[in-house]
Amino acid sequence: EAQVTQNPRYLITVTGKKLTVTCSQNMNHEYMSWYRQDPGLGLRQIYYSMNVEVTDKGDVPEGYKVSRKEKRNFPLILESPSPNQTSLYFCASSLVGGVYEQYFGPGTRLTVT
Amino acid sequence: GIQVEQSPPDLILQEGANSTLRCNFSDSVNNLQWFHQNPWGQLINLFYIPSGTKQNGRLSATTVATERYSLLYISSSQTTDSGVYFCAVEYPDSSYKLIFGSGTRLLVRP
């Protein structure tokens, strides 16, 4: 089944404890992206990747890192999480950036205390 | 920047009723998608529809790109249709990010 998977789905952590949210797609998509969803602010792009080893900042990259060593994986890294990073996170992918449908993962609900 | 406006913001239906959700956007777009966010937060792709009309069961969508709007039709609504419906358009810059509207929150009562 074609899908985007994220792990973990739910995470409660403490300020400053490094964490990684994994994202994987099995559709051989070149483009992958991370969004966060917050009440009243909608979904905002954090980082995106056009292909392996090609990543760039979205609208809200501060406090996040990403890497794209393999085509299928695009992990989101929070080196020192803070409470303002409490949010619902979505990974998305599409065949190629632009003019193609984007597929979203199931979301990761992160709480930083 | 591109503005995406959805209406109505909230909608309450009795099971079995039909409804139309609207999405207006302010500029030419490459990509328009409709999503349903279920009560567990998952974003479910409904339609990829930059232009034209598509149907999938009780749902159908129409995008008139020249007039910068899209419509999502829900017929014979069911309680499982409840949730938030988002329209998202792709901004024509290099990041290919989707810009989401603020959504229509739908509640279908039994």
pLDDT, tens digit (0-9, with 9 covering 90-100), for A10-33: 999 999 999 999 999 999 999 999
> By the 8 A CB rule, do B33 and B88 touch?
yes
How confident is the model at residue B39, as a pLDDT? 86
CB B85 within 8 A of CB B104: yes
Pick among A44, A104, A108 to test the B interface (most B CBs inside 10 A) = A104
Check if A61 contacts B (Cβ < 8 Å): no
**pLDDT beneath 50: ranges in chain A:** none
- Residues, chain B, total? 110
Cβ <8 Å between B100 and A42: yes
**Which of B33, B95, B101 comes nearest A102 by C-beta?**
B33
CA A36 from chain centre, in angstroms, equals 8
Q: How many helices (H) and strands (E) does chain A have?
A: 0, 11
pLDDT value of position B94: 62
What distance in Å separates the CA atoms of residue B11 and residue A101, rounded to the nearest whole number?
Answer: 27
pLDDT of residue A96: 79
DSSP state of A52: T
Tens digit of each residue's pLDDT (9 = 90 or more) over B59-77: 999 999 999 999 999 999 9
The list of chain B residues with pLDDT below 70 reads: 94
**Pick from A31, A99, A104: which is nearest to B30 by CB?**
A99
